[in-house]
Structures are given as C-alpha cells and as structure tokens.
Amino acid sequence: MSKDPAPPKAVRPFLKANAATLGAVGGYVIAVAIAFVSVGVLDAERSASAMSRYGMTVAEDLAYHAVEPLLRRDRIQLGLLTNRVAARPEVRQITIRTADERLFVVAGSASTETAPTYSRPVTVEDTVAGDVTVALNPESFPPPLADILNQSWQFVLAGLAATVFLFHFATRLGSSRNATRGSAAVSRVVPPAFVVVANLPLRSASRSAEREQLLRHAMAIGGRIANLYAGHAAALPGSGIVLVFPVSGSGDRCFEVVCAALLMRRLLSKKAEKEAPAIDTDGPSPDDAHDDASSAFRYGIDFSEAGATLHGDTVKPSSVSNVLLLASLAGAGELVLGQAAFDTLDRPDRVELDQLRNPATEALSTGVAMPRGKVRRVARDYDALITRQAEVIAIASDRSAS
C-alpha cells in the first residue's frame, strides 16, 4: 500500500509559518459555534423573562383602562380596547370577566392550554370589579436562532478576517521578542473588576508608523491613569490598551471608572490633535488626517465578574472580549457603557447617556454583551475635576518626553 504523498517543498514553509494562524482560525470557528450554541441555550431563559415583563405590562394597562367601561357594562368600548391590543402579534387572546367570574369580553384567537397567561384584577379603590387575562404567543419571544444567524453572518466573516490578520501579524511580530523574553512575563488574574478598552481599528500599511506611535502613547497615558485610579494598564497587542480596575468597597467605583475612561479619551484626543499636522505629506491632507486621528480610538466599559487575566504588560483579547465588543459598537471617539457596569452605578443621574444607534448593536450584542448607551458627559463638577486631571497628566507626559 502506498503512503500519502508529503506536501510539496514549496508549500512546507507556508504551512510551518502559518500553523499558528490556522490554529487561531480553527479556534475562532469553535468560539463562534460555542457563542451561537450559548445563544440557543439562553434563548428560552430570555424568552421567559421577556414574556413575563410584556404580559404583566399589557394586563396592568388593560386593567387600568377597563375600569369605567366594565362598571358601565359597556361591551362595545371594551371590545374596541381589547381588539386593538389583541391585534398585536405577541398577544393570542384577551378575556375580561366580571366580579362574579362571568365572561364579559373575549378578543383574539382561541387560546391553547400551553399558552402563557397573565392576569390582573380590575379594581376601584379597594373593590374588585373584575379581572383581565392576557394569553401570549410564546414564539414571538425572542426571534429564532436562525434570524440571529441571518443578521450576524457578515460580522462573523469580518471577525474571521480580522482574526487571521491580527494573529498572523502578532505571531510574526512577537516571535523574536518571545525568544528573548522566555518565561519573564508572569500571568496574574485580577478578581471581579471593571474593564475599560481603548480600541484602535486597523489602518492601512502606510499609516503603520502613526498607529504604533499612538499605541505607545496610549499605553503611557493608560499607566498614569491606572495609577491615579488604583488600577492596572495592559496592552492589547496590535489593537489598543486595556485598563482593569478591581472592585473596591466604594459604592462609587463604577463612576470612578467612567471618569477614568473619560480622562483617557480626553488625553488621547489631545495627543492626536497635537500630532496630526506632522503626518507625511505623501499621505492624506492635514485637515483630513486631523479629523481622523483626533477620534481614532473607540472606547468600551463593562463589569466582569470573572475579572481579567494579565500576562505581564499585555492582556489576551479573549479575556476582555465582551468589552471589546462594546468598543466595536462605538463610533469614532465614542464611549459605550455596558449594562452590567450600569447596574452597579451609584446615582446614575451623574452620567448622561445617549441612545446607541449603531445598526449592528442588536446583532452583535445578543447573548454576548449588552450595551446601555453612549456616555456623553458627567456632572459639571466632576467634569471640571477631569479637566484638571488631564492638564496635570499632560504636563507630566510632556516633561517625561522632553
């Protein structure tokens, strides 16, 4: 029996050099598959929660508006009210009964025994005049997994392409450095913490020098901010920087992290604006480069129950994937706050949020990371403090660079 032929000699160097990249692609495919399976597993739980909130809300609204027509025994007005609500695709049937449990109004299609129902009493002060029962269509909560796949396939392909490029670039760039470093980098796990990501999207090769300069400066600024707010700064190889702030006993910890992220955004924008005119004359015009550079980074904040794993002065993207996803939903120079972090925020009125209008928000965040909104600003007193901190750090950075 003949043996399988060995790969041609011309192909062997390629396979050897790209083995790690091919492994990363396989890992990415597995990770995507696990992510979609997780979406399917969690689908039933999210569906039950969404149905419960929706069903109770509809039943309470109907019970409130049905008081007067039920007391007057006005079937016509109640019929108009219930038929309008029953026309919603989420609602299967609505029934209203009198205080003596006689059926008074029915709207919608026939309800099955398995349809989830929600009831609320129709009350006048302390007197019960009847009750409202709402039966829902469970298939309306949430969209099926096939719809999620249909909406997100382009992002999966884009992520695959980015994974191949980033991992191949990082493997080639870091091979020589890893040979000399050996085991010098020590891994450490930061316990439950708030994570801030400043992500710098990939640019063309002609702008690589400016990109590396921005990343180096961002790392230096991140280290100063981490020291100021009792956190840790780490590089996200080839992509940006990460600030990790362990949870403290202060109830204001999340707000402190928001201020730290705004401080970093302000300092990086100032740096980009200062250096934009020095761009190579063969490239874009100074005005265009200034507009692009001044808002190069995208920012994300969220709370991680599992914390983050730091490897020396770097962090793996997989350790902060949820916050990276939030940063990818942000526009140029924008800061997106995750729902998990917002839930821990003490006195949220101090943080002004704008609605996130990115069309990819729902497709990207389903079952992975839930964005709350874009941070527009903080209260005036705190904004003044951030301004003073930015001035002090900028002066210190200029002195150290000179």
Q: Are 340 and 370 in contact (CB under 8 A)?
A: yes
Do 210 and 316 belong together in one domain? yes
The residues, any chain, with a CB within 8 Å of residue 18's CB and separated by 6 or more, are 168
* Residues 143-164, mean pLDDT to the nearest whole number: 63
Residues 201, 164 share a domain: no
- CATH value at residue 381: 3.30.70.1230
| Co-location of 211 and 243 in the same domain | yes
Q: For the chain, how many structural domains are there in total? A: 2
* 194 and 123 within one domain: no
Quick one: which of 104, 154, 176, 153 has its CA closest to 133? 104
Least confident range from 22-31, 118-127, 278-287, 294-303: namely 278-287
**Which CATH number is 129's domain given?**
3.30.450
Q: Give the rounded distance of the alpha carbon of 402 from its chain centre.
A: 39
Single out the residue in 143, 168, 193 at which a domain terminates. Answer: 168
Assigned token pair, 198: 């400043």
In the predicted model, is pLDDT for residue 352 greater than 70? yes
- Residue 3 maps to a domain: no
- 189 and 163 co-located in one domain: no
Query: Highest mean pLDDT range out of 1-5, 150-154, 344-348?
Result: 344-348
Same domain, 265 and 339: yes
Helix (H, G, I), strand (E, B) or coil at 366: coil
- Helix (H) / strand (E) containing 168: helix 145-181
- Is 132 within the bounds of a domain? yes
Pairing type for strands 335-338 and 298-304 reads parallel
Among all chains, which residue has been given the structure tokens 């891994």?
A: 187
In which domain, by residue range, is 127 found? 8-168
209-224 pLDDT tens trace: 778 888 888 999 999 9
Where does residue 396 fall: left (phi above 0), alpha (psi -120 to 50 degrees), or beta otherwise?
Answer: alpha
Residue 205: the pLDDT is: 39
Is 0.75 topped by the overall pTM? Answer: no
Whether 174 maps to a domain, the answer reads: no
Q: Are residues 285 and 367 in the same domain?
A: yes
